[in-house]
Amino acid sequence: MNTASTLHLDQLVSALESEFARDARGKGVAKLLANYASAHEDWRAFALAAPEAYTRNLVARAESFELIVLCWQEGQQSPVHNHAGQQCWMAILEGEIEEIQFEEPRAGHAGPLKRTSTRTCARGKVAYIDDDIALHVVRPVPGTAGCSLHLYSRPIETCGIYDPDTGVVSQRTLRYHSVRGVPSAS
């Protein structure tokens, strides 16, 4: 990988490392992500897309965070999911990304998930969520494609996936479709 092609993204990673070392809650993260997402294109070196499902492309992973470029083709979306107790920031790199939030079902109460809000974010905007706020679905605005940069306050190995009709949760092991621009083995 050409070092010059990822100069700004690698600077972002260094700034995030400093921010999490200074403040484990990452209070300055949204501004760092917004500044990067609104002004830079070198993330494209990590943007591996696939026709069958959205892709998770690892940029950087440390003890305190992981940074991933997600590529969304038209009609693709995440399942309803949580974040395994971690904070999640989503910066929009290209297109418009829609987030649909749901209330987490109370233990022992089956039934359809309750939709609580929907928001749309354009390039350069940053959304934040954690498990105390809501579950969510992420997708490009219908009829379009997009890319987003996701930062988790610690790497997430598995997360809860919720059936929207029943509220039943199952665990999913997460994987990367590429690491630093190199496709992962299936």
DSSP string, 82-123: --TT--EEEEEEES-EEEEEEEPPPTT--SPPEEEEEEEE-T
109 pLDDT band (50/70/90 cuts)?
A: confident
Look-up: residue for tokens 């484990």?
24
Confidence check: pLDDT of 156 > 60: yes
Confidence check: pLDDT of 4 > 70: no
Return the CATH number of the domain spanning residue range 3-178. 2.60.120.10
Per-residue pLDDT at 5: 57
56-92 confidence digits (pLDDT tens): 999 999 999 999 999 999 999 999 999 999 999 999 9
24-41 confidence digits (pLDDT tens): 677 899 999 999 999 999
Q: What is the mean pLDDT of the chain?
A: 93
Asked if 139 and 76 touch (Cβ cutoff 8 Å), the reply is yes
pTM: 0.93
146-155 confidence digits (pLDDT tens): 999 999 999 9
